[in-house]
Amino acid sequence: MIAPLLRKYSSQASALQLAYDHLPGKNSQLSPVVILHGLFGSKLNNRTIGRGINSNLGRDVYLVDLRNHGSSPQSPMHDYQSMRLDLEKFVDDHKLENPIVMGHSMGAKVAMQACLYNPKRYKMLISIENAPVNVMPNGKFVQYIDLLERQVGHQVTLKTVEERLSKLEKNELVLKFLMTMLRRDREGAIESKLPLGILREAIVKGKISEWDVKDRRYNGPSLFIRGTESAYIADEYIVPISTYFPNFELRDVKGGHWINVENSSACIEYISEFIDRKEDI
């Protein structure tokens, strides 16, 4: 069931009402699962994983669009505090009891911070391809945005845009993912579904790559999943993971940063087993 939500633009620091898809479970007594996507993504990116968890465990699953993404409202404020407060509002609005929060990449940092700032609220944490560390901004993300912004407003075909983008990004999966950010307006010109300028500023200022949480700990069950061909959860990050999340487990999945899409079956298997095993703890 897709919940309709009118897009609106806000310059306030207050929490925003997020768009979502709800996959109803067979047992409403079980903790629901809330899934958050990564940068440039949307709730659609996690539909396969969400359906797998819903089918395997019979739980309610909520696929959420973070601010400035998908069908959710847009705001010039794009940082982890704002996104965490959006998530808190979502949990409150939907009266979710002890939800399991899961995220990929940027969404994983939102999930981690939510658990650290309100540890009694969340039953479990699942982080796919991110760790509680401060890293350098990814310059390639800025290059993606700059190239896409140059296409906006022009009467060119999407195929032409994809060919131009392929000179910057060779990975076919990533290329197709980036192209989902574009569409045609009524006059046939290219337009972006996302506020590229806002996201570019957040990347350049380090708002996406930063980690500024100190002296907090989440003792609930925590699962970290990393791609074998990715450096987002490097071995040296295991120490900070254990500091913030002492009750953690680590799983390796074959693939790169977008393992939630390119190897969703392995992710579903690990996540389902972990949740089922930890449910009564």
Q: In this structure, are residues 181 and 192 in contact, taking their beta carbons and an 8 Å threshold?
A: yes
Instruction: Give the whole-angstrom CA distance, residue 244 versus residue 155.
Output: 49
- Does the pLDDT at position 152 exceed 90? yes
Delimit the domains of the chain by residue range. 20-136+210-278, 139-203
> By C-alpha distance, which of 63, 80, 42, 77 is closest to 181?
42
Q: Pull the structure tokens for residue 259.
A: 């393992």
Q: Express as a percent the part of the chain with pLDDT over 90.
A: 88
Angle between helix axes 196-204 and 139-151 (nearest 10 degrees) is 160
Instruction: Give the whole-angstrom CA distance, residue 18 versus residue 69.
Output: 10
* C-alpha 178: how far from chain center: 15
Query: In one letter, which amino acid is 50?
Result: G
> By C-alpha distance, which of 17, 146, 37 is closest to 85?
17
Q: How many CB atoms lie within 10 A of CB 117?
A: 16
Q: What is the pLDDT of residues 203-215, one digit of tens each?
A: 999 999 999 999 9
Q: What is the pLDDT of residues 89-128, one digit of tens each?
A: 999 999 999 999 999 999 999 999 999 999 999 999 999 9
pLDDT tier at 7 (50, 70, 90 boundaries)? very low
- Does the pLDDT at position 280 exceed 80? no
- Does the pLDDT at position 87 exceed 50? yes
pLDDT tier at 13 (50, 70, 90 boundaries)? low
Instruction: Write out the catalytic residue numbers.
Output: 105, 257
Fold type of domain 20-136+210-278: Rossmann fold (3.40.50)
Q: What is the pLDDT of residues 27-37, one digit of tens each?
A: 989 999 999 99
Angle between helix axes 139-151 and 158-166 (nearest 10 degrees) is 150
Among 7-21, 90-104, 169-183, the range scoring the smallest mean pLDDT is 7-21
DSSP labels for the chain? Answer: -EEP----B--SSSPP---EEEE--S-TTSPPEEEE--TT--GGGGHHHHHHHHHHH---EEEEPPTTSTTS-B-S--SHHHHHHHHHHHHHHTT-SS-EEEEETHHHHHHHHHHHHSTTT-SEEEEES--S------HHHHHHHHHHHHHTTS---HHHHHHHHHTT---HHHHHHHHTTEEE-TTS-EEESS-HHHHHHHHHTTTTT-----S----S-EEEEEETT--TT-GGGHHHHHHH-SSEEEEEESSSTTHHHHTHHHHHHHHHHHHHHHTT-
